[in-house]
Amino acid sequence: LGTAFSKLLEDRPKEFQALQAWEAALALAVPAATRELAEWKPLEKPQDGLIPMQPWVALSAAAAAKSNAAMPVGGTSRLLRDLCDAVLLPRLRAALVDWSARDPEPCLQLVERCRDTLPAEVADEVATQLVLPRLHAEVEAWDPRIDRASPHLWVHPWLPVLGRRQESLWAPIRFKLSACLERWDPKDRSALEVLKPWRLVFDPANWEPLMEKVLVRLERALGDLDVRPDGQDIGPIQDLIVWIGVAPIVGLARVLDAALFPQWHRALRDWLRAPGCDFSEVLQWYQGWKALLPEALREQGVVQKHLTQGLEVMKFFMAKASGGAEEEDEPPFPSVASSSPPPVDDTSCASPAAAATPPAAAAADEVSLSLSDYLAEVAGEEGLVFRPKKALHNGKQVYQFGAASIYVERNLVYAAPKVGQAGEWRAVSMDEVLNLARIAPAAGAARKQR
């Protein structure tokens, strides 16, 4: 039937256009195509239902070439568009009812065949209208607490097909992963396997809050580590090292700075002060720690600072033992970026990192992370950009929230003054920060016009 109308268009183009023969073609094509596709199984034999569409695709292209009147703004003729809407999409929708989104391959092959046979915008509609809603439903049903199958196995294969349209899945996936990290123990390496595939897929607004939570949990685990000259448990350190290449290396170095090195320095000094200390054993202990840390961590300035300071302390005590440093003072503890120096009281039950960080401060850090998650969710709902900027204020990460610049400290959101206005950063409510995010672009445009 499609071939017959194509021949009519080729032989009698003026009559075809004058009589608007495509209307008759559509009226005849819909029932014919409905009968032909009734037994079609798209997921098993996608070509069987698409091959009969080829004459209609050719007719649509020929009609479009001969008359702009047959063309809508989208680029595909009304004939093909109406035929697909009336027959093809309903048949595909019915066939995909029983399709499991966790088995992407059959549907991927179907969509690829659609892209080979149909115009691009029609094939894109198949993916957008039929596949994307099913992926959304599967993400909503996914529970990472009991489901060990990572969603990247059935989400990532669609990246070449759906592209940026798939970004609507990132926020719900991140929220579920974030909830699991609240009680995550770094000994459980499964979190690494689940998060690693998303490093190059998530945008910074979805990836960095997850990494912040990972770093917090790693810091707590290291804070409970007892650094000692013998029988050292290096499990928590290895649990941190495996995150190299996934978590930011600067963040991992910061965790060592805050949670490990205060205890490490204290253990080193206690050993060097002990009567009859064997300096060769201390040197081997030092070299063992240095070798334990991969080069990527050793190259970080904060780690180099601590290793150099440890070497200076060893040199001081060795010189003192030989009578060459009697007049010198013992080198001070190095400063720690995110916590106070470790306490001197060795009888305390609390770990040095826990003693150095007041409970209120730890709770405030958790509130800040939860608040950043909430801001990301609000930004997604409001259609606003939420992402880290290459800037810090008072040591805190600055974020772009719509047109506003903000940072989070404890349980408060601080906003920068408007562009062109003097003032200080100030604490704002959610209503205020939303207003700043929405009205700032208009204000900036008005200033440009003036």
What is the predicted pLDDT for the residue at 38?
Answer: 78
Q: Single out the residue of 104, 96, 202 nearest to residue 153, CA to CA.
A: 104
pLDDT at 30 over 70: no
In terms of pTM, does the model score above 0.85?
no
Read off the pLDDT of each residue in 133-142 and give the average, rounded to a whole number. 94
Angle at 127 between CA 92 and CA 71, to 5 degrees: 90
Q: Which of 218-232, 233-247, 389-403 has the lowest mean pLDDT?
A: 389-403
What does R_g of the chain's alpha carbons equal in angstroms? Answer: 32
Dihedral (C-alpha) 429, 434, 440, 443: value to the nearest 10 degrees?
-90
Q: What one-letter code names the amino acid at 200?
A: L
pLDDT in tens, 242-258: 999 999 999 999 999 99
Q: What one-letter code names the amino acid at 196?
A: K
Whole-angstrom Cα distance, residue 372 to residue 413?
A: 9
What is the predicted pLDDT for the residue at 29?
Answer: 65
The set of long-range contacts for 143-150, using a CB threshold of 8 Å and a minimum separation of 24, is 143/176, 144/176, 144/177, 144/180, 144/194, 145/180, 148/190, 149/102, 150/193, 150/194, 150/197
pLDDT at 361 over 90: no
CA atoms within 13 A on the CB side of 401: 32
Going by pLDDT thresholds of 50, 70 and 90, the confidence category of residue 132 is very high
Most confident of 142-151, 245-254, 309-318: 245-254
pLDDT at 360 over 80: no
Read off the pLDDT of each residue in 28-45 and give the average, rounded to a whole number. 78
pLDDT in tens, 331-358: 777 765 543 333 333 333 333 333 344 4
